[in-house]
Chain A
Amino acid sequence: MSSPTRAEICAVACAEAWRGDGAILASPMGVIPALGARLARLTFAPGLLLTDGDAYLLDRDGNVEGWLPYAKVFTMVAAGRRHVMMGAAQLDRHGNQNISCIGAWERPKAQLLGVRGAPGNTVNHAVSYWIPRHSRRVFVEHVDMVSGVGYDRGAVDLRVVVTNLGVFDFETPDRVLRLRSVHPGVDVSDVLAETGFDLVIPAGIEVTREPSAAELEIIRRLDPDNARNREVP
């Protein structure tokens, strides 16, 4: 089997976000988070609940195991039984996220998605982020419209931020973004060059683990069309 691509390393890093979560709703946004969540359930996080993107819960074999229309998703959110991995157009050191708009909210330069469920997600349950293109446009001093809240604004459980360059968490005394690992072939200086604020760099940065042969086989089986490599070339 050929050696893992960056996208495949990212898929495993996303999967790791759900390790230990038990029976909760996993809500991945994006191709690679979705692959990661399915990989996690097939291996080390068998309890995860996953939807078909609509209102059905599908088990690991693709059979319907339940019904989860939006109203019930909202109840799962408020009950705290969910771990979402969202995207972010902007993210600051405290984990404040923006998916709403760029520029002044009153008349934005670019209208994006809107806040969607991000405010509620971040004050109710576990949240991770997926950034397929790590850049200074995303990692900013201040976000234009706080959608998901950071730890300085009442977030309850921000887990990890996975990007195309590395894995990050908030495990510092003041709960700010910290580099946890760089992906194989990435240097810490590459990460710093693409981050628009002072990132916490602990001693002894590890390299993100590579997929096992079994994991690689699962990833390639789940994504035969290689959508992952289009999200992270």
Chain B
Amino acid sequence: MLTPDEVVAELRDGMTIGIGGWGSRRKPMGLVRAILRSALRDLTIVSYAGPDVGLLAASGQARRVVTGFASLDSIALEPHFRNARQNGTIELTELDEGMLHWGLLAAAHRLPFLPIRAGLGSDVMRVNPGLATVRSPYEDGNPLFSGGVWGGRPPGPAELVAMPALRLDAALVHMNRADAAGNGQYLGPDPYFDDLFCLAAERAYVSCERIVTALTGPPQSMLLNRAMVHGVTETPNGAHFTSCVPDYGRDEEFQRKYAAAAADPGAWDRFRAEYLAGDEAAYQKMVRR
């Protein structure tokens, strides 16, 4: 078991870090806040992006973001990501959402790439000029058995995007429950891609609402096993202000405050001084008032 600061002490400048959750949902915000308190820099962040990416863009610690969107869900556009893009202060690897999934799956399976239709014909190929396509070796039909519905006619186009593996130096995810050994459980409706983020990474760190001695509940909810996880930290309310149902929903009022503060540098300085200057305990005390 680690503290959030001890997790962040294991990260290095220039790392590629995957962050789990989706948009403004079940983000490991306590760990993101620990990065904000650190001197880490030049990070590449791979994420279905929400305020995790917004905060690391605002702090200047994210040099590059790999994503298909950056959203706060109930507020469509992540305001800091938007500012950073429009000011030219962040680099972007823009991918289709499915390509990001496929890149994580390839990394988790230790494959150099996986073929996918998504991206074909779109400007994702223009803005990522290194992306290559690959041709199916089975254009003449299924080599294993004849007949079947695809018989002599393979499904879809033979030319596909070769989505490269998105190998991560580290992954940060947030669970509802975990045990000290690193087994992790989500209790909400969607696992997102947190298991793939962990398997795609050299080192995976889990924050959770509560450490328990034994996980209980449906076995399908036990998303992470200890072979996928290298460190666990307990961060109650640690996804705040993103949602972490059923423990708590998104703090919409606080999120509106966060988004409004992004509108001008003075307001953002005041927001930072009020909420982000101290440690996690100080943050939690401020947002509980």
Using CB atoms and an 8 Å cutoff, list the residues of chain A in contact with chain B. Answer: 54-56, 67, 69-71, 74, 77-78, 100-101, 105-120, 122-124, 145-149, 153-155
Q: Which chain B residues border A78 with CB–CB below 8 Å?
A: 98, 116-118
> B192 and A120: CB pair below 8 A?
no
23 A-B Cβ contacts within 8 A?
A55-B190, A70-B22, A78-B117, A78-B118, A105-B94, A107-B85, A108-B86, A109-B86, A110-B86, A111-B81, A111-B85, A112-B77, A114-B70, A115-B96, A116-B68, A119-B96, A119-B99, A120-B116, A122-B122, A123-B118, A146-B126, A149-B120, A154-B120
Partner among A56, A116, A146 whose Cβ is within 8 Å of the Cβ of B189: A56
Q: Which chain B residues border A111 with CB–CB below 8 Å?
A: 77, 81-82, 85-86
Say yes or no: A114-B190 contact (C-beta < 8 A), given A107-B85, A108-B85, A149-B121. no
Q: Which chain B residues border A147 with CB–CB below 8 Å?
A: 122-123
- The answer for the CA separation of A155 and B22 in the assembled complex, in Å, is 27
Instruction: Report if B95 contacts A (CB, 8 A).
Output: yes
Shortest CB-to-CB span from A167 to chain B, Å, is: 25
- The answer for the CA separation of A145 and B86 in the assembled complex, in Å, is 15
Shortest CB-to-CB span from B203 to chain A, Å, is: 23
> A120 and B123: CB pair below 8 A?
no
Type the 1/0 row for B129-173, where 1 means its CB is closer than 8 Å to any CB of A.
000000000000000000000000000010000000000000000
Q: Which chain A residues border B97 with CB–CB below 8 Å?
A: 74, 116-117, 120
Shortest CB-to-CB span from A226 to chain B, Å, is: 20
Interface residue SS majority, chain B: loop
> A70 and B193: CB pair below 8 A?
yes
Q: Which residue of B lies closest to A72 (CB)?
A: B190
Q: Which chain A residues border B77 with CB–CB below 8 Å?
A: 111-113
Q: Which chain A residues border B193 with CB–CB below 8 Å?
A: 70-71
> B122 and A119: CB pair below 8 A?
yes
Q: Which 5 A-B pairs have the closest CB atoms?
A: A120-B118, A153-B121, A55-B189, A114-B69, A119-B122
Shortest CB-to-CB span from B86 to chain A, Å, is: 6
- The answer for the CA separation of A148 and B69 in the assembled complex, in Å, is 14
Instruction: Report if B24 contacts A (CB, 8 A).
Output: no
Q: Which residue of A lies closest to B245 (CB)?
A: A54
Q: Which residue of B lies closest to A117 (CB)?
A: B97
- The answer for the CA separation of A160 and B193 in the assembled complex, in Å, is 32
> A69 and B98: CB pair below 8 A?
no
Type the 1/0 row for B33-73, where 1 means its CB is closer than 8 Å to any CB of A.
00000000000000010000000000000000001111100
Shortest CB-to-CB span from A2 to chain B, Å, is: 32
Q: Which chain B residues border A100 with CB–CB below 8 Å?
A: 94, 123
Partner among B71, B95, B98, B101 whose Cβ is within 8 Å of the Cβ of A113: B71
> A113 and B69: CB pair below 8 A?
yes
Q: Which residue of A lies closest to B81 (CB)?
A: A111
Shortest CB-to-CB span from B103 to chain A, Å, is: 13
Q: Which residue of A lies closest to B88 (CB)?
A: A107
> B121 and A74: CB pair below 8 A?
no
- The answer for the CA separation of A78 and B117 in the assembled complex, in Å, is 8
